[in-house]
Amino acid sequence: MLSYRHSFHAGNYADVLKHLVQVRILNYFCQKDKPFCYIDSHAGAGGYELSSDHAQQTQEYQDGIQRLWQVEGLPESLQSYLEEIRAFNGSKELIRYPGSPTIAQQILRRQDKLWLYELHPTDYKILSDHCQEDRRIRCEQSDGFQGLIAKVPPLERRAVVLMDPPYELKEDYQRCITTLIKAHRRFATGCYALWYPVVARERINKMEAELVASGIRNIQLFELGQSKDTETFGMSAAGMIVINPPWTLMQEMQQCLPLLAELLGKERSGHFRCETLVEE
Ligand code: SAM
């Protein structure tokens, strides 16, 4: 039974980090004319109204995108992320927030393809209605872990994968790693980005250790924390683990993350990590 709905969390600090990394990877891939495909294993609804009951109930976006919206003088990489959010809003006012499929849809070119997987019936319907007219997109209401394995290696031989499960099921932590290792065995040159929440630190330590032990090379980790780690109060930080990142990503994140920790941290408790887990 699926209960997670991203509409409660859209635009929070974890989305800011995730989508900043996503934008920077996709912008980098677009520097070459050669087509590539984007695979979103857990796509969500594609877009979210911030005035909805769900968003208003949690108001998480207030401590995320809302805090960045009017800030001036941000580094170019953060500006490029904000441009995508502004493009989706179409005005100076922040009224909605794009999901990862829409951000990819905005950035990708005519020659590129998008494969989107979403299991929740309501979110799948919203997503597929949104994508209907776009011939570059294939949208499936099926398991994204299996979908990813079936799609690699892609015809284009260039791919960006975003894996962003809700971690509603504890086995998702293990499934992410097992699936990434399997996908990488079939297609070692793809760029894979995995989002994770820090709810219990030891689970993330285990994921990192398994990836490091897998033999996969060229892995970086970027994490943004709002408050100190806690065992009792839910998510304190969120991160992205990127296999085969663009060579420019580390430097960009080293510039953005200290700033984001300062701007989005709670009561000066913001923190970040920018690490190479495995060298090239
Ligand atoms: N990637 C989206 C974004 O950034 O806008 C948010 C995705 S949300 C965190 C996770 C989504 O995965 C939920 O909408 C949930 O219904 C869906 N989901 C859960 N298990 C899944 C599975 N095995 N395969 C595909 N989708 C799944």
Write the secondary structure of the chain as one string of H (helix), E (strand) and C (coil).
CCCCCHHHCCCCHHHHHHHHHHHHHHHHHCCCCCCCEEEECCCCCCEEECCCHHHHHHCHHHHCHHHHHCCCCCCHHHHHHHHHHHHHHCCCCCCEEECHHHHHHHHCCCCCEEEEECCCHHHHHHHHHHHCCCCCEEEECCCHHHHHHHHCCCCCCCEEEEECCCCCCCHHHHHHHHHHHHHHHHCCCCEEEEEEEECCHHHHHHHHHHHHHCCCCCEEEEEEECCCCCCCCCCCEEEEEEECCCCCHHHHHHHHHHHHHHHHCCCCCCEEEEEEEECC
Q: Which structure tokens are listed for 133? A: 């007219």
Contacts with 160 (C-beta within 8 Å, 6 or more apart), sequence order: 25, 26, 29, 36, 37, 38, 39, 190, 191, 193
Q: Are 101 and 131 in contact (CB under 8 A)?
A: yes
Is the minimum distance from the CB of 113 to ligand 1 under 6 angstroms?
A: no
Q: What pLDDT score was predicted for residue 91?
A: 79
Is the minimum distance from the CB of 24 to ligand 1 under 6 angstroms?
A: no
Phi, psi of 60 (to 5 degrees): -65, -30
For residue 267, the CA-to-ligand 1 centroid distance in Å is 30
Selection from 109, 108, 106 nearest residue 87 by Cα: 106
Q: What pLDDT score was predicted for residue 9?
A: 97
Is the minimum distance from the CB of 42 to ligand 1 under 6 angstroms?
A: yes
Q: What is the pLDDT along the chain (280 residues), one digit of tens a residue?
A: 678 999 999 999 999 999 999 999 999 999 999 999 999 999 999 999 999 999 999 999 999 999 999 899 999 999 999 999 999 999 789 999 999 999 999 999 999 999 999 999 999 999 999 999 999 999 999 999 999 999 999 999 999 999 999 999 989 999 999 999 999 999 999 999 999 999 999 999 999 999 999 999 999 999 999 988 777 778 999 999 999 999 999 999 999 999 999 999 988 889 999 999 999 9
Active site residue 164: yes
For residue 115, the CA-to-ligand 1 centroid distance in Å is 13
Q: What pLDDT score was predicted for residue 127?
A: 98
| Max Cα distance, the chain (Å) | 48
The pTM assigned to this predicted structure is 0.97
Q: What pLDDT score was predicted for residue 45?
A: 97
Contacts with 138 (C-beta within 8 Å, 6 or more apart), sequence order: 113, 114, 115, 116
ipTM of the complex: 0.99
Q: What pLDDT score was predicted for residue 269?
A: 86
Domains of the chain: 6-278 (3.40.50.150)
**Which CA distances in Å does 69 have to 8, 65, 82, 241?**
19, 6, 8, 26
Q: Which protein residue has the closest C-alpha to ligand 1 atom 6?
A: 44
